[in-house]
Structures are given as C-alpha cells and as structure tokens.
Amino acid sequence: MSILEIKLPIHETFQSTVQGEGYWSGTLVDFIRLSGCPVGCPWCDTGYADGGKNLPRVERPIDELLGELKSPRVVISGGEPFIQKHLPELVQALLDAGKKVHIETSGSFWQEVSPEAWITLSPKQHINPKYPVQPQFWSRSNEVKIVIETGREIELYKEHLSAHPDLYVYLQPEWNRWSKSLSLILQMLQEKPDYKLSLQTHKYIGVQ
Ligand code: SF4
C-alpha cells in the first residue's frame, strides 16, 4: 500500500484559517483534526470532555486530505494526534507535499515523527494524572502552551521548563473563566517574564 492510501480517522478539516494560539498565532494555516482523545479535559473545546463517543470519525486516505489543502502550513490537531499509529506517515506525506507541519498534543502518547514537524506541547497531566507527559516531549517540543485556570498549573512542570530554557512557554486563559485566568496570568508573567500570554485569537475574530 502506498503512503497516500493510508487512512486516518478524521474529526474535521478546514482550510485557510489562522493559527489562533502560541508562537505561530496569526499565521495562515489549514487544520486537520484527528478523531479521538481519552484525556477528558472538562473544558475541551473540541468536545472530548466525556470521551466524544458521538463526535465525527470518518476514515479518510492521506491523498484525499492532501487534495483539499490550501495553505503552506498545516496544523495536525485533535483530539490527540499521537494516539494515531499512522501519524508519522501523515506528517511525512505533508512534508513531501511541500507543507510546513505543526502538531498539537497533550504529550500523553509518544511516537517518533519527522524532526521537521513543529510540536506544540499542551500538557494536561495536572488535569488528569492518568495521562502524564511522556518525557521525550520535553526535549522534542518547540513550544509549550499551558491553559491557566487556577494559577497552579505550572507547578507540576516547573522542573522540566527550567531544564529546557529554549522552549517557548505560553500561558493561555481558560476561555470559560477568561477574566480570572487573565489576571492570574498577568501575575505569573511578573514572576516569569520570559513566558508569554497566548490568546485564542481565532475565537475573537470568529473563525474556527
Ligand atoms: S487533551 Fe485536548 S483534545 Fe483531549 S480532552 Fe484535553 S483539550 Fe480535549
């Protein structure tokens, strides 16, 4: 079977939007959302808080996914992309097609993907200790994005963050408690001036 015939379970795809969060915020991107995530964050904005049994899951071949792309950059998101055994092939096929590839992950499941892929680690171990960050992600990731709800989230990760000073660290308000979270982040930035605020800009401008 050719790499282009491999199928992956797709939650949804959309094209010609902007990356709303983190380092590449404001950049034109296409999204491929892979289906499924077991982590169960209560505020999951993709619908996987309760496992997502009724959410979309359509098996689609890689060549069909490539055919609908419009932007130079593609964000593979979820769900949790790293639970999909064919994630490495999808990444490679996108790179072979001349795309820049970004992957967003909770870091709970590890597998090797091309070193050319940009990895955004958004750890959820503080929410569900059953899904700790796999240690490889701390050195492999390019940026860390932590959703702030209580202000205590970074405690669990501070040794890893100190050990990897080149990581870009973004603190992002939990959307449903935006005002409280934002003021917590402004306090946290005073202690950690190298960290940055990440806003979900796509929600402010009304795009996916
Ligand atoms: S890890 Fe991400 S996709 Fe999974 S439940 Fe949490 S927010 Fe949703």
- Measured in Å, residue 81 CA sits from the centre of ligand 1 at 10
Identify the CATH number of the domain in which residue 14 sits.
Answer: 3.20.20.70
- The token pair that represents 81 in the structure block: 């992309």
**Residue 201: predicted pLDDT:** 84
pLDDT over 90 (residue 140)? yes
pTM over 0.75: yes
**Residue 177: predicted pLDDT:** 86
**Residue 207: predicted pLDDT:** 79
Please give the residue range of the domain that contains residue 100. 3-205
Q: 81-124 pLDDT, tens per residue?
A: 999 999 999 999 999 999 999 999 999 999 999 999 999 999 99
Q: How far apart are CA 144 and CA 125, in angstroms?
A: 13
Angle at the Cα of 143 from the Cα atoms of 191 and 111, rounded to 5 degrees: 135
Average pLDDT over residues 62-80: 97
- The token pair that represents 177 in the structure block: 């408690």
Domain count, the chain: 1
Residues of the chain with pLDDT > 90: what percent? 90
Does the Cβ of 80 fall within 6 Å of ligand 1?
yes
Mean pLDDT over each residue of the chain, to the nearest integer: 95
**Residue 179: predicted pLDDT:** 87
pLDDT over 80 (residue 180)? yes
- Measured in Å, residue 37 CA sits from the centre of ligand 1 at 6
Best of 31, 43, 44, 105 for a ligand 1 pocket test (most atoms within 8 Å of beta carbon): 44
- Measured in Å, residue 44 CA sits from the centre of ligand 1 at 5
Q: 159-178 pLDDT, tens per residue?
A: 999 999 999 999 999 988 88
**Residue 202: predicted pLDDT:** 84
**Residue 173: predicted pLDDT:** 93
